Amino acid sequence: MPWGKGTVVKGARGYVFLAGNTGTAGNYDPSTGKGGAVGDAAAQWRSILMNIKSDLEELGSSLDHLIKITQYVNGPFPDGGALSSPNFRLDVMDEFFAEHCPKHYSYNNPPPSEVIGVAALAHPDLVIEIVAVAALPD
């Protein structure tokens, strides 16, 4: 799998460390577990990636300046690893980066990342959480 080995940052004036992003749609009701992206891993990935894009831009950075991402994928893990989970959606991430930041498309120059399988996230309706670190460009 083509993941970046590392990122060299030159000329940055600082860094942005985003908190873990989780994704649900606007009509999600956590008290009932209905609406939103419940049971839809692809929709949660899209929501998270758009949140990361927006957060980075709001804080003076962008997807172009991503240094590292960490993906926490909720099970099940039919073949034993996080990559085997139906909640791991590399296809959605590639589609997102192809559209919003081709620099980080997986076969081009993706930032270094980890994929960690977890038994649960903060709420049972969440299947993915992504943490991002980016540079603040000079």
* Residue percentage of the chain with pLDDT more than 90: 49
H helix count then E strand count, the chain: 2, 5
C-alpha 59: how far from its chain's center? 17
In this prediction, residue 3 carries a pLDDT of 55
Which candidate, 120, 117, 125, 136, places its Cα nearest to that of 70? 117
* Residue percentage of the chain with pLDDT more than 70: 81
Tens-place pLDDT, residues 38-59? 678 998 999 899 989 999 999 9
Structure tokens at 82: 């996080």
Distance, CA of 54 to CA of 62 (rounded, Å): 8
Q: What's the pTM?
A: 0.85
Tens-place pLDDT, residues 31-41? 766 666 667 89
Helix (H) or strand (E) holding 105: none
- pLDDT of 30 higher than 50: yes
